[in-house]
Amino acid sequence: VIVDCDIHNAPLSEQALHAYLPAAWRSRRAVGGRLSPTFERQRETLGDRSYLGSEYPRATPRAARTDAWPPNGAPPAADLSFLREQLLDRYDIEYGVLTPMLGAGEQLDVESGAALASAINDWQIAEWLEPEPRLRASINVAYEDGALAAAEIHRLGHDARFVQILMLIRTAEPLGRRKYWPMYEAAVEHDLPLGVHYGGWGRGPITGTGFGSYYIEDQVGMATAFQDQLTSLVVEGVFERFPTLRVVLIEGGIAWLAALMWRLDRAWKLLRAEAPHLDRLPSEAIREHVWLTTQPMDEPTRAGDLGVLFEHLDMDDRIMFATDYPHWDFDSPERAIPKALGADRRRRILRDNAHALYRLDSGDG
Amino acid sequence: LTVAIRLFPRRGTMAEADATGISLVDCDAHAVVADITVLEPYLDDHWREVVATTQFAGPTDQAHPPNLATSLGDYAPVGDAAPGTTLAALRAHVLDPLDADIAILACDYAVDSVRNPDAAATLAAAANDWLVAEWLERDPRLRAAIVVPSGQPAMAAAEVSRVGTHPGFVAVHLPVRVAMPYGNRQWWPLFDAITGHDLVAHLHFGGAPGLPPTASGWPTSWLEEYADMASAFQSQLTSLVAEGTFDRYPGLRLALLEAGFAWLPAFLWRFDKSWRGLRREIPWTKRVPSAYVREHVRIGLQPVDGPPDPGQLLELIDQLGSDDLLMFATDYPHRHVPDGLAAIPSGLPVGLAERILSANARDLYQLP
C-alpha cells in the first residue's frame, strides 16, 4: 500500500480554472468597475506575470512523461480517469496528495495571485476531491503576502481533505523573514503542515552565483535553494517561535540534508551569538520539524552508500515517498525505494510516515 | 610535524611516528591587505591622487566580518600587525609552528566590490605587485594566487597574463560568489589565460558581486551566509561541468577553498542522476559529472564540515570516492574550529593522511 505525496494535477485549460475565480475577479462589470481589473488585465492582456527573464527550454512539453498525455487530448494529469488508470489503480495507491503548481504564489500582483489561489483550491474540491476519495489536496496560497495567505488558510482550514499548505521553495525573501509569519501562524492554528515544493522564482538570479545557462543547472540547483531556505528557517528561529510548525520539503531530494545539518551545527557552535532565538543545535530543530519527500530519489553509485546516508540522516520517520506524476523524472513505487533499505524502513517511507504526518487515518475521506 | 599535532590537541590524528617526514603543504593561508595604504607604493600617480583626494579607500567588503568568532583565531600579537597582514605574522603563526614546507597565499581583497572597472583592475594589480614584493620574494616557502577583477572577465584575463609568468604565482583567486557563474562562456577569456599559464583556478569562499547569496534574497545573519556558501560552491561546480568548461579546457585544474566537502557526495549523486536524464541538453559532456569533478577538482580541508562522530566522518570521506581530493589547509587567520589552528579528521588511514597533508597539493600545484 502506497501513499504518493506529490501529484501535479492540472486544469484542462486556463479558462477552465477561471470558472472558479471569485466573482469579483471574473467580471469587471459585475462589480461596477469599482474593483481592480488587474486580474483580467494580467491574465488576458499581459499573460502570466512571473519568471521574468528566467526561461529554460526543458526536457519535455510541460516537463511531463511522454506517455502521460491522456488519449482524449487533455494535458498531462488533467483527466481524472486517466490519472486513476495510470497512477492510482496501476500502483494501488491508497492516498495521493495533490500539489497543483499553477503560478498563484509567484504573481507580482499578490491580490491577483490570491484570487488565482482561491480558484485553484475550489477547482480541486469540485473536480478532484469530490469525485475521488483517494485524493487529498494542498491549499494554494499567495505566499508572498502573509496576510492573504493566512486568509486563504482560514477559509479552507476546516476541510480535512486539505492536508497541507503549498508553496514553492524559491521565494522573494528567505523563509525565516517576518513577512511569512502570518502564514505560519495560520498553518499552526489549523494544524496543517507547510509543504514547500521544488520551483518558484525569487525575482532575481536563481542561484547565489547568477543564472546558469541550462535547465539541468536549474534542476540540479534546486537542492541548493532547499538548503538555503532551511538554513533561514532554522537560524531565524521560526521553529522556536512556532513550536508545532511542521514543514515538508517536496521534490528537493534528501541526501543533502545530512551535510547541511553537520555544517549548521558546527556554524551554530561558533556563531550562535547571531542566532539568539535558536537555543539548541540546528539539527535537533530540523529533526523535530522537517519532513522530506523522496522524489527524485537519491541514487548513490555504490550500493552501500544509501544505507549509510539513512544512518547519517537518522530521520527514518520523516521521509515520505512521492512520484511527482506526471513529470518526466517520475519515481515508480515499484523501483524507487531500494529493498536494501529494509522492509521496515520501506513501509515507513512508502506509507506510514505520510499517514502520521497528514493524519490520514483520522477519517473523512 | 610533531608541532602540528600539538596544535590540534583534541583532534590529533596519526601517531607521531607515522607523521614524521611528511612535508606539509598549506594550500590556503591568507595574505590580508590591512588597508589601502599598504598598496599605495604599488599604485600609479592617478590612483594615489584619487585615494588622497576622494576618500576612496578601496574595497571595504570583507568575506569575513572583522570580529566574529570565525574571522580570527587566537593568535599572539606579532608587532603591531593584525594576524594575516604581514609575513612576520604568517611565519610566527603558521609556517614555523607547523614546519610547513609550502604555503599558498590567498588574498581575498574584495576588488570585485568596486564597480569602477579601472579601479578594480588597478587594485588587483597593486595587490599582486604587493604579494610579489613583500611575500613571494621574501620567503621561498610561499606561493600565491593572482588577484583579478572578477567582475570583468577580459580585464581579469589581462591581469593573469601580466603576472602569470612569475614563478611564485601558481593559481588565480576566483571568489565563489560572482554575478555570472564561471561556466558561462563569457568567462572563456579568463580560462584561456589560466590554462595558458598552467595555473590552478582557485574557487574561494566569499565574493562581493552585489547580488544576494541565495536564490531567495539576502539572509539576515552572517551565520546563514557562512552556511549558504556551500550552495555557491555547488552552483559553480554545476555550471562548470554542465556548460562544458572541463570539455573545452581538458587540462583545467580547479581547487575549492574554504568550501567544506561534506556536501560533495550528495551533490554528485544528484548531479549524476540528473545528467543521465538530461544529457541531451548538454551533449558536449561525455561522462557523468562526478567523473569530471574527480579528475579536475581538489578541495582544501578547512572547514571540516562533516559529522562530529569520527566513525561517520570516515564514512563520509570514503563517500568522496577518491583519496586524491582533499588537501590540507589552515585558512589562517580565519577560524573554523573552537580550538587550534585547523582540524584534521582523526583515524585516517596513514596513506590517506599523507596524501591530504602533502601529496595531493604537490600533485595539483606541481610542487617539488
Q: What is the DSSP string of B318-348?
A: HHT--TTSEE----TT---SSSSS----TT-
**DSSP E strand stretches across A205-331:** 247-250, 290-293, 319-320
Q: Which of B179, B232, B262 sits opposite A259 (nearest CB)?
A: B262
For an interface test with A, the pick among B223, B228, B314 (most A C-beta atoms closer than 10 Å) comes out as B223
Q: How many CB atoms lie within 10 A of CB A210?
A: 21
Q: Which of B86, B354, A55, B103 is nearest to B344 (CA)?
A: B354
Which of A88-97, A132-141, A180-189, B66-75 is the least confident region? B66-75
Torsion angle defined by CA atoms of residues A254, A255, A258 and A264, in that order, rounded to the nearest 10 degrees? -80
What single letter denotes the amino acid at residue A158?
Answer: H
Chain-chain contact of B227 with A305 (C-beta, under 8 angstroms)? no
Q: Which of B69, B182, B273 sits opposite A271 (nearest CB)?
A: B69
For residue A255, give the 3-state DSSP assignment: coil
List, in sequence order, the alpha helices (H) in B169-253: 188-196, 222-242, 245-248
Tell me what pLDDT residue B8 has.
39
d(CA A316, CA B170): 47
Percent of chain A having pLDDT more than 70?
A: 92
Confidence check: pLDDT of A11 > 90: yes
Tell me the pairing of strands A93-98 and B200-204: unpaired
User: Taking CB atoms and an 8 Å cutoff, what residues of chain A touch B223?
Assistant: 235, 267-268, 271-272, 274-275
Nearest chain A CA: its distance from B166 CA (Å): 30
pLDDT in tens, B46-64: 999 999 999 999 998 888 8
Q: Give backbone dihedrals phi and psi of A190, rounded to 5 degrees, phi first.
A: -95, 10
Is-contact A232 A208, C-beta < 8 A? Answer: no
For residue A188, give the 3-state DSSP assignment: helix
What single letter denotes the amino acid at residue B341?
Answer: L
Q: Helix A146-156 and helix A110-124: axis angle, to 10°?
A: 20
- Please name the helix (run of DSSP H) or strand (run of DSSP E) that holds residue B300, with its range, or none: strand B297-300
DSSP 8-state assignment for residue B13: -
Q: Which of A24-33, A234-243, B351-360 has the highest mean pLDDT?
A: A234-243
Chain-chain contact of A202 with B214 (C-beta, under 8 angstroms)? yes
Helix and strand tally (H, E) in chain A? 14, 8
Q: Which of B360, B351, B348, B259 is nearest to B8 (CA)?
A: B348
Confidence check: pLDDT of A191 > 50: yes
Chain-chain contact of A270 with B213 (C-beta, under 8 angstroms)? no
The mean pLDDT value of chain A amounts to: 92
Mean pLDDT, residues A214-226: 97
Q: What is the ipTM of this complex?
A: 0.94
Tell me the pairing of strands A162-170 and A135-140: parallel
Tell me what pLDDT residue B7 has.
37
Mean pLDDT, residues B252-262: 97
Confidence check: pLDDT of A169 > 60: yes
Nearest chain B CA: its distance from A335 CA (Å): 15
Q: How confident is the model at residue B72 (pLDDT cuts 50, 70, 90)?
A: confident
Query: Residue B17, class by beta-carbon neighbours within 10 Å (0-12 exposed, 13-18 middle, 19+ buried)?
Result: exposed
Q: Which of B232, B270, B274 sits opposite A208 (nearest CB)?
A: B232
Say what the pTM is: 0.95
Mean pLDDT, residues B84-89: 96
Q: How many CB atoms lie within 10 A of CB A69?
A: 19
Tell me what pLDDT residue A46 has.
60
**DSSP E strand stretches across chain A:** 2-7, 93-98, 135-140, 162-170, 194-200, 247-250, 290-293, 319-320
Tell me what pLDDT residue A47 has.
64
Confidence check: pLDDT of B11 > 50: no
Confidence check: pLDDT of A22 > 90: no
Which of A48-62, B191-205, B265-279 is the least confident region? A48-62
Chain-chain contact of A259 with B238 (C-beta, under 8 angstroms)? no
Mean pLDDT, residues A44-63: 79
Tell me the pairing of strands A162-170 and B253-257: unpaired
Chain A to chain B Cβ contacts (< 8 Å): 260
- Taken in order A345, A347, A348, A354, the sign of the CA dihedral is positive
User: Taking CB atoms and an 8 Å cutoff, what residues of chain B touch A272?
Assistant: 223
Chain-chain contact of A308 with B242 (C-beta, under 8 angstroms)? no
For an interface test with B, the pick among A228, A254, A314 (most B C-beta atoms closer than 10 Å) comes out as A228
d(CA B48, CA B359): 43
Tell me what pLDDT residue A42 has.
61
The x, y and z cell numbers of residue A208, run together, are 547565489
Between A52 and B236, residue with greater pLDDT: B236
Q: How many CB atoms lie within 10 A of CB B235?
A: 28
d(CA B278, CA B271): 10
Q: What is the largest CA-CA distance in chain A?
A: 67
d(CA A243, CA B331): 38
Least CA distance to A56: which residue of chain B?
A: B281
d(CA B28, CA B13): 20
User: Taking CB atoms and an 8 Å cutoff, what residues of chain B touch A224?
Assistant: 215, 231, 234-235
